[in-house]
Structures are given as structure tokens and as C-alpha cells.
Amino acid sequence: MTTIGSFEAKKNLSKLLERVRQGERFVITKRGTPVAELVPIISPSDRRQREAIIAQIKSFREKRPRVGRGEIREMIEEGRR
């Protein structure tokens, strides 16, 4: 994420908005302190698609057994052999 001062943001707002429309994100600062983020709006269809993907990931994780610390160590050692 790119950081830009408030004066520069004001001076180049139309250019920044075009870049945001293309997917870039900006943090706007005032005297070096972050005060705002300029981010693209997520359309409702994009939001639904992302929520569906997140639900699929959660479902996938729930179906897999949890692995404990000892088991991870054993897997690492086995992979080294």
C-alpha cells in the first residue's frame, strides 16, 4: 500500500482515483501521521464471491484433523530422512 501526503493527494486526486479504480490502495497522511485509506469499493457480486470462497475454505478446514505440535515435529523429522 502506497503512502501519500494529504497535500499531494489533494493536488492529484483525479489521478489517484483512477489508480484506485484499477485496484491500488493508498494511505493518506497528514504531517506523517496516517489519517485515511483510499481503497476501491467492492461490488456486491465480488463480495458474495469472496464470502463463498471463505465459506469453502472454512468447510475444507473443518473436515481435516488437527495436527498437534508433536506430530508436526515428527513430520519434519520424517521429511529430513
CA–CA distance, 69 with 65 (Å, rounded to integer): 13
pTM of the model: 0.55
User: Mean pLDDT across the chain, nearest whole number?
Assistant: 89
* Contact in structure between 21 and 13 (CB atoms under 8 Å): no
Q: Which of 37, 34, 29 is nearest to 7 (CA)?
A: 29
Look at residue 8 in the predicted model and tell me its pLDDT. Answer: 96
Is it the case that residue 35 has pLDDT exceeding 90?
A: yes
Look at residue 42 in the predicted model and tell me its pLDDT. Answer: 80
DSSP string, 30-75: ETTEEEEEE-PPPPHHHHHHHHHHHHHHHHHHHHSPP--HHHHHHH
Is it the case that residue 68 has pLDDT exceeding 80?
A: no
CA–CA distance, 35 with 8 (Å, rounded to integer): 14
